[in-house]
């Protein structure tokens, strides 16, 4: 267990590059049991969430090796054993639910333990079960395990019960190796879903409609090992934008996937934020348009309307929390409606310990009133990634010494966050619990 000591109140300056997407990386890694041979992934973020997935894949029989420059080599001999799965790693991440769809092409019958991950209330897996059921894959929850039976699964036409990212990915993973044609309506078209689809297509899958809410998948017999660079993370890019705005700093954030940030930037523009946006250029995998965004300090006014997340192309559900630190420094009141998760909005009130004015209305809604002068405090990281990074952002803006205990929630999604921010002028020290 490690902790951050933050001496806040410093203006940051310089350029920071957006790392690859956590949610893309874990989805693509979960697809590798479907592909025999050697797969190389480039620009893989070295974060705890990825480490847990690697530990799980290794425990079931894949050989995973880190190469220089954040590359991963994954060798799948085709001999997988679920009996030896690493249960400790498994229960720490929710994204391993994607193994249900992936392994349905490997085993006719199998079982997996219950999933873990961020503690954000009762997050139903019914959309996964219903989507896979349309394909003829039966998933039953019994006590603390999922029991999966592929039976005589085949392609089918259906509508997603809920347009969730991971549920859509699970359906896609299951469908690509099934006989027949699958049509998925109301499929998520979010960035990680697109990245997974492009990875699968390069490996030999036949998927039409990528980037839309209607996919057509023609089943193939097998996938081929490939080299694939993972796209940059729009959520990390938004976190750096939030840091720049909240601390009143001039920062340039490079490699920002503009298609998945355009609405967020429009909200900020209308609030009065000054930005310089470069001409677009292509990501390393050639599939996504990137830009460099320079944030220039400005006085902001609250929007006349509430801010809420929704499926792409709406304001990203994981970018919504990153507006809360910004709103603490914005003139006026803003209602933030985080309708997806029961508990996440409750964690926003932790910012009040740092001098913010966040009023909780119910498990989904808060009103943030600003601007407020943030002050240092000692706080334990909540067991949820986005609320945890919010605390770090506000501590960077609060003049004086803050301590953020148990940084694992942040380490799940942000690689070397202390070192990268310190290069911009921040003062963050990472220390072990015993050294406090």
Cis before residue 302, ω within 30 degrees of 0?
no
Report the percent of the chain where pLDDT is more than 70.
97
- pLDDT tens for residues 277-309? 999 999 999 999 999 999 999 999 999 999 999
Q: List the single range of 29-38, 136-145, 183-192 with lowest mean pLDDT.
A: 136-145
- pLDDT tens for residues 56-92? 999 999 999 999 999 999 999 999 999 999 999 998 8
Instruction: Quickly state the pLDDT bin for 141 (edges 50, 70, 90).
Output: confident
- pLDDT tens for residues 352-383? 999 999 999 999 999 999 999 999 999 999 98
What is the rounded average pLDDT for all residues in the chain? 95
- By the 8 A CB rule, do 48 and 412 touch? yes
Whether 435 shows a pLDDT value over 70: the answer reads no
- By the 8 A CB rule, do 28 and 230 touch? yes
Task: Provide φ and ψ at 360, rounded to 5°.
Answer: -85, 125
What pLDDT does 434 receive? 63
Instruction: Quickly state the pLDDT bin for 123 (edges 50, 70, 90).
Output: low
Whether 413 shows a pLDDT value over 50: the answer reads yes
Give the three-class secondary structure for 372. coil
What pLDDT does 1 receive? 72
- pLDDT tens for residues 303-351? 999 999 999 999 999 999 999 999 999 999 999 999 988 788 999 999 9
Q: What would the two tokens of residue 341 be?
A: 């998760």
Q: How many Å apart are CA 6 and CA 16, to the nearest integer?
A: 19
Contacts with 125 (C-beta within 8 Å, 6 or more apart), sequence order: 97, 115, 141, 167
- pLDDT tens for residues 191-216? 999 999 999 999 999 999 999 999 99
Nearest to 420 by CA among 399, 397, 396: 396
Whether 166 shows a pLDDT value over 70: the answer reads yes
What pLDDT does 143 receive? 84
CA dihedral 100, 101, 104, 106 (to 10 degrees): -100
Whether 122 shows a pLDDT value over 60: the answer reads no
Q: List the single range of 110-119, 144-153, 319-328, 383-392 with lowest mean pLDDT.
A: 110-119
What pLDDT does 115 receive? 76
- By the 8 A CB rule, do 84 and 58 touch? no
What pLDDT does 360 receive? 96
What pLDDT does 341 receive? 81
Contacts with 420 (C-beta within 8 Å, 6 or more apart), sequence order: 16
Instruction: Quickly state the pLDDT bin for 120 (edges 50, 70, 90).
Output: very low
In what helix (H) or strand (E) does residue 318 lie, and over which residues does it extend?
none
Q: How many Å apart are CA 208 and CA 227, to the nearest integer?
A: 21
Instruction: Quickly state the pLDDT bin for 415 (edges 50, 70, 90).
Output: very high
Residue reference for tokens 């498994």? 90
Chain centroid to CA 332: how far?
30
Residue reference for tokens 């720490």? 92
Residue 231 gets which letter from DSSP?
P
What pLDDT does 91 receive? 86
CA distances from 6 to 140, 202, 240, 379, 418 (A): 46, 44, 16, 12, 9
Domains and CATH numbers, the chain: 2-19+232-435 (3.65.10.10), 22-229 (3.65.10.10)
The pTM for the full model equals 0.95
- By the 8 A CB rule, do 259 and 340 touch? no
Q: How many Å apart are CA 87 and CA 92, to the nearest integer?
A: 9
Whether 118 shows a pLDDT value over 70: the answer reads no
Q: How many Å apart are CA 311 and CA 228, to the nearest integer?
A: 26
Q: Would you mind telling me the total number of residues written for the chain in this entry?
A: 436
Whether 248 shows a pLDDT value over 90: the answer reads yes
Whether 119 shows a pLDDT value over 50: the answer reads no
CA distances from 350 to 6, 94, 103, 138, 355 (A): 17, 24, 40, 41, 10
Task: Provide φ and ψ at 178, rounded to 5°.
Answer: -90, 150
What pLDDT does 116 receive? 61
Instruction: Quickly state the pLDDT bin for 267 (edges 50, 70, 90).
Output: very high
Contacts with 349 (C-beta within 8 Å, 6 or more apart), sequence order: 358, 360, 366
- By the 8 A CB rule, do 90 and 56 touch? yes
Give the three-class secondary structure for 12. coil
Q: How many Å apart are CA 297 and CA 281, to the nearest integer?
A: 25
Residue reference for tokens 């963050």? 428
Residue 151 gets which letter from DSSP?
T
Beta bridge partners of 75: 38, 63
Q: How many Å apart are CA 391 and CA 409, to the nearest integer?
A: 11
Whether 400 shows a pLDDT value over 80: the answer reads yes
């Amino acid at each position: 267990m490690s902790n951050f000591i933050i001496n806040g109140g410093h203006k940051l300056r310089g350029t920071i590059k957006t790392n690859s997407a956590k949610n893309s990386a874990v989805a693509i890694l979960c697809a590798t049991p479907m592909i025999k041979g050697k797969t190389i992934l480039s620009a893989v973020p070295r974060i705890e969430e990825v480490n847990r997935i690697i530990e799980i894949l290794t425990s079931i029989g894949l050989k995973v090796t880190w190469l220089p420059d954040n590359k991963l080599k994954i060798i799948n001999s085709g001999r997988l054993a679920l009996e030896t799965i690493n249960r400790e790693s498994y229960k720490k991440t929710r994204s391993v639910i994607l193994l249900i769809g992936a392994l349905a092409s490997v085993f006719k019958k199998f079982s997996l333990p219950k999933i873990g991950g961020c503690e954000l209330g009762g997050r139903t897996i019914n959309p996964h079960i219903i989507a896979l059921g349309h394909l003829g894959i039966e998933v039953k929850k019994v006590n603390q395990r999922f029991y999966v039976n592929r039976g005589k699964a085949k392609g089918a036409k259906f509508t997603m019960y809920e347009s969730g990212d991971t549920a859509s990915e699970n359906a896609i993973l299951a469908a690509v190796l099934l006989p027949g044609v699958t049509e998925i309506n109301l499929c998520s078209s979010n960035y990680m879903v697109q990245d997974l689809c492009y990875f699968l297509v390069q490996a030999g899958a036949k998927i039409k409609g990528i980037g839309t809410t209607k996919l057509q998948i023609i089943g193939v017999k097998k996938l081929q090992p490939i080299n694939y660079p993972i796209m940059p993370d729009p959520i990390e890019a938004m976190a750096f934008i939030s840091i720049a705005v909240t601390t009143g700093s001039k920062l340039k954030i490079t490699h920002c996937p503009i298609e998945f940030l355009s609405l967020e930037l429009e909200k900020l523009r209308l609030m009065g934020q000054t930005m310089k946006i470069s001409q677009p250029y292509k990501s390393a995998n050639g599939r996504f348009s990137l830009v460099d965004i320079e944030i220039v300090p400005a006085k902001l006014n609250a929007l006349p309307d509430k801010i809420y997340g929704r499926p792409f192309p709406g304001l990203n559900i994981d970018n919504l929390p990153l507006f809360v630190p910004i709103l603490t420094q914005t003139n006026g009141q803003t209602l933030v409606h985080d309708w997806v998760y029961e508990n996440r909005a409750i964690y926003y009130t932790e910012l009040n310990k740092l001098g913010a004015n966040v009023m909780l209305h119910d498990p989904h809604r808060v009103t943030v009133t600003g601007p407020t002068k943030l002050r240092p405090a000692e706080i334990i990281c909540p067991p949820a990634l986005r609320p945890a990074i919010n605390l770090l952002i506000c501590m960077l803006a609060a003049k004086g010494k803050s301590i953020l205990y148990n940084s694992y929630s942040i380490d799940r999604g942000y690689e070397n966050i202390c070192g990268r921010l310190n290069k911009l002028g921040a003062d963050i020290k990472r220390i072990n619990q015993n050294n406090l």
